[in-house]
């Protein structure tokens, strides 16, 4: 059962990392747009 818990935790962590990356990319695009204005 420990393996199942570890797998679920790793999946959640990877999803969080992907979300953080998307947010960081979105913020970078927003900043570059503001700079162009």
CA distances from 31 to 3, 14, 23, 25, 37 (A): 42, 26, 12, 10, 10
Predicted local confidence at residue 2, as pLDDT: 65
Predicted local confidence at residue 13, as pLDDT: 82
Predicted local confidence at residue 29, as pLDDT: 95
Predicted local confidence at residue 37, as pLDDT: 82
Q: What is the spatial distance between Cα 11 and Cα 1, in angstroms, rounded to a whole number?
A: 16
Tens of pLDDT, residue by residue over 1-37, are 567 767 776 778 888 888 899 999 999 999 999 998 8
Predicted local confidence at residue 15, as pLDDT: 84
């Amino acid at each position: 059962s420990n393996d199942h818990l570890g797998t679920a935790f790793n999946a959640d962590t990877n999803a969080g990392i992907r979300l953080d990356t998307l947010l960081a990319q979105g913020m970078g695009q927003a900043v570059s747009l503001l700079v162009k204005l």
